[in-house]
Amino acid sequence: MIPHQSQPKLIAGNANLPLAQAISRRVSMSRGMSVGLVDARVERFNDQEIFVEVYENVRGEDMFIIQPTSNPANDNLMELLIMADALRRSSAQRITAVIPYFGYARQDRRAKARTPISAKLVANMIAASGIERVLTMDLHATQIQGFFDIPVDNLYASPIFSLDIQHKFGKKLDKVTVISPDVGGVGRARELAKRIGCALAIVDKRREKAGEVAEMTVIGDVQGQTCIIVDDICDTAGTLCKAADVLLQAGAKEVHSYITHGVLSGPAVERITNSSMKSLVITDSIEATEPVKKARNIRIVPTAPMFAQAILNIWNGTSVSSLFDHESLAAIYEGTY
């Protein structure tokens, strides 16, 4: 059992400073005292080598590194590993990596011969760096938790999305259908549909090669319904925009999307802006670019309240799974909706 220090210690890399600062503010509110980010510099030499220097004493402290491994994935991953090494060599008592978006998660199996399982390699690197626990959200494949030989707490965005959906569509939930954009995501969509008491349908897709969708079929009745597509990652948005078109052709009244991680690379923002979707809701697990912030039909919901409470629960040695409960989360998000 780790003895409780006066407060948890938070430190952040450069991947998503706004989220780290929001988590810090939330932890401070809950603790009734200032819990700022540990003063440190994370920078690059001229040859792009990453250098970390921690300016505060962290000996015997319970440290939380807030660092999604989003684009540029390799740089942000190396920042995380080097920060962990710096803290371990500075005698931190425990190091927890808070990784809101876990990069390389889509490489979780060998789909073809002579290909890597990069998610397992990244898990090995994280454990070898001295990190003793991982806190993340909506892993692309839940079995990735088993790639780690250290504890992994995987939070879910569906409770946050259910609060938002009930706020936006509360008076007409009987006309809402939750959509899984593929067969593999049915579990995620079913969980959200169950939370808000709505019907479930599936868009079955046949993919010829990565990034290209050949054919889509709607399984289920969406006639006259407000359809809400639910998924964990939106990258180039090609599949998402085509799914919206297919649903409207099948008789849907309108289409909205709730996606946990807005990777939104390449032409994604332009595609979404010009698409038939009424809105795309993403979390702030990945720092939004200026085009994303300015897009008329993209909205961002905060994850800081959930991550701050999860950090406090880990620090206190209490249950993290309590955050999956609607009532617990509603209390944390009180005033937001």
88-117: pLDDT as tens digits: 999 999 999 999 999 999 999 998 999 999
Question: Highest-confidence range of 108-112, 185-189, 226-230, 319-323, by mean pLDDT?
Answer: 226-230
**Is 140 part of any known ligand binding site?**
yes
Q: Which of 142-156, 165-179, 206-220 has the lowest mean pLDDT?
A: 206-220
User: In this predicted structure, which of 142-146, 156-160, 181-185, 243-247 has the lowest mean pLDDT?
Assistant: 181-185
Percentage of residues of the chain with pLDDT beyond 90: 85
Residue 235 annotated as binding site: yes
120, 205, 253, 278: which one is catalytic?
205
Read off the pLDDT band of 208 (50, 70, 90). low
Q: Is 231 annotated for ligand binding?
A: yes
Q: Is 174 annotated as contributing to ligand binding?
A: no
Q: Is 205 a catalytic residue?
A: yes
Confidence of residue 324 (pLDDT cuts 50, 70, 90): confident
166 known member of a binding site = no
Q: Is 47 annotated as a binding residue?
A: yes
Over range 255-269, report the average pLDDT: 97
Per residue in 123-153, pLDDT (tens digit) is 999 999 999 999 999 999 999 999 999 999 9
pLDDT digits (tens, 9 = 90+) for 40-58: 999 999 999 999 999 999 9
- pLDDT at 2 > cutoff 60: no
Categorize the per-residue pLDDT at 326 as very low, low, confident or very high, splitting at 50, 70 and 90. confident
Q: Confirm or deny that 69 is annotated as ligand binding.
A: no
Mean per-residue pLDDT over the chain, rounded: 93
SS3 per-residue string spanning the chain: CCCCCCCCEEEECCCCHHHHHHHHHHHHHHHCCCCCECCEEEEECCCCCEEEEECCCCCCCEEEEECCCCCCHHHHHHHHHHHHHHHHHCCCCEEEEEECCCCCCCCCCCCCCCCCCHHHHHHHHHHHCCCCEEEEECCCCHHHHHHCCCCEEEECCHHHHHHHHHHHHHHHHHHEEEEECCHHHHHHHHHHHHHHCCEEEEEEEEEEECCEEEEEEEECCCCCCEEEEEEEEECCCHHHHHHHHHHHHCCCCEEEEEEEEECCCCCHHHHHHCCCCCEEEEECCCCCCHHHHHCCCEEEECCHHHHHHHHHHHHHCCCCHHHHCHHHHHHHCCCCC
Enumerate domains of the chain plus CATH numbers: 9-156+304-332 (3.40.50.2020), 158-301 (3.40.50.2020)
Higher pLDDT, 67 or 216: 67
Chain segment 16-36, per-residue pLDDT in tens? 999 999 999 999 999 999 999
| 107 in a known ligand binding site | yes
